[in-house]
Amino acid sequence: MIRTLEQFDAYVAAEKKIEPKDWMPDGYRKTLIRQISQHAHSEVVGMLPEGNWITRAPSLQRKAILLAKVQDEAGHGLYLYSAAETLGVERADLIDDLLSGKAKYSSIFNYPVLTWADIGAIGWLVDGAAIMNQVPLCRCSYGPYSRSMIRVCKEESFHQRQGYSIMVELMKGNEAQREMAQDALNRWWWPSLMMFGPSDKDSEHSSQNMTWKIKRFTNDELRQRMVDMTVPQAECIGLKMPDKDLKWNEETGHHDFGEINWDEFYNVLAGNGPCNKERLAVRNKAHHDGAWVREAAVAYAKKNQKIRA
């Protein structure tokens, strides 16, 4: 078991996993709690925009797939909250922070899901960006987080494929369907790129997290990968990337792309996005409406403990 900072540093440097009972620096613990709980909150809030379309999925097969996907998100939320709890916090407290607006979740879910093609774009781009961010986390130095991310990533990769498959089907369809797909790409592309966070020059947490092996690649590196991966996928099915500055750069071997609207990024982050208020209001209502159910479950469990004892 790790008892000192020296041991901790040596362990992390040697790519060994830190486990819950090991000694760890306070900053490491805080960073992980913040990151894991934000991730859990994102899964939970992320159920809402997609959940909206379960009742309107255009075929039984699509309905079943979307149900399976959103159920996965709830599962991810559960094991991420559990991973956070190994660091000495309670799920209930973390949820309170989400509901009060104190804790953040991924800003992407503050954009409205307007058409069925948005469900495709979310799977393809949003889950695609999430995987890009999360695959390196499978090697995160903190054991419980690393193990939950391995499972999350397996499921996310299925989510991404289901999203792309929706887009493929739409692009094979009639003109209205193709327009729907292009429109969804136009609206979701830039917010998806924003998911990698601020540009490296403005990112506050990067370097320490690199040393701690919580983070492996910088925001801009991951963003570049996302662009390079997505462009050929879009071309393959006849979608046009909504970026006039996008072009292949022979020298770098990457795509150059246009400037992100950081003003929009910081505004959505600050709570001014199209759905920030609605998302939190829905979570608060669900929590409030369900209070009597949770209380009943606790009361029943207590009664039964007494009977058994």
Residues that bind another protein (CB under 8 A): 44, 47-48, 51, 54-64, 67-68, 70-71, 74-75, 77-78, 81, 116, 166, 169-170, 172-174, 176-177, 282, 285-286, 289-297, 299-300, 303
Decide whether 45 or 87 has the Cβ nearer to another protein.
45
Q: Closest CB to another protein among 169 and 264?
A: 169
Nearer to another protein, 4 or 55 (CB): 55
User: Residue 195 CB, nearest distance to another protein (Å)?
Assistant: 20
Q: Which is nearer to another protein, 213 or 279 (CB)?
A: 279
Report in angstroms how near the CB of residue 37 gets to another protein at its nearest. 13
User: Closest approach of Cβ 254 to another protein, in Å?
Assistant: 34
Report the C-alpha gap between 256 and 245 in whole angstroms.
7
Minimum distance of another protein from residue 116's CB (angstroms): 6
The alpha carbon dihedral of 45, 39, 168, 193 has a sign of positive
Give least dist CB 274 to another protein, A.
18
Please report how close the Cβ of residue 64 comes to another protein at its closest, in angstroms: 5
44 versus 152: smaller Cβ distance to another protein? 44
Long-range contacts of 33-38 (CB under 8 A, 24+ apart): 33/84, 33/87, 33/89, 35/214, 36/80, 36/83, 36/84, 36/87, 36/145, 37/80, 37/81, 37/84, 37/89, 37/94, 37/97, 37/98, 37/103, 38/103, 38/104, 38/105, 38/106
DSSP string over 14-56: TTPPB-TTS---HHHHHHHHHHHHHHHHHHHHHHHHHHTTGGG
15 vs 40: CA distance, rounded Å:
25
Rounded Cα distance between 278 and 264, Å, is 18
Among residues 195, 88, 183, the alpha carbon closest in space to that of 144 is found at 88
- Residue 172 or 247 with smaller CB distance to another protein: 172
Q: Which is nearer to another protein, 25 or 290 (CB)?
A: 290
In the DSSP assignment, the letter for residue 142 is: B
Query: Do the beta carbons of residue 41 and residue 98 sit within 8 Å?
Result: yes
**Rounded to whole angstroms, how far apart are CA atoms 97 and 147?**
25
Name the minimum Å distance from CB 292 to another protein.
5
Minimum separation from the CB atom of position 65 to another protein (A): 9
Q: Which residue, 28 or 109, is less far from another protein as judged by CB?
A: 109
CA distance 178 to 170: 6
Is the CB of residue 249 less than 8 Å from the CB of residue 256? Answer: yes
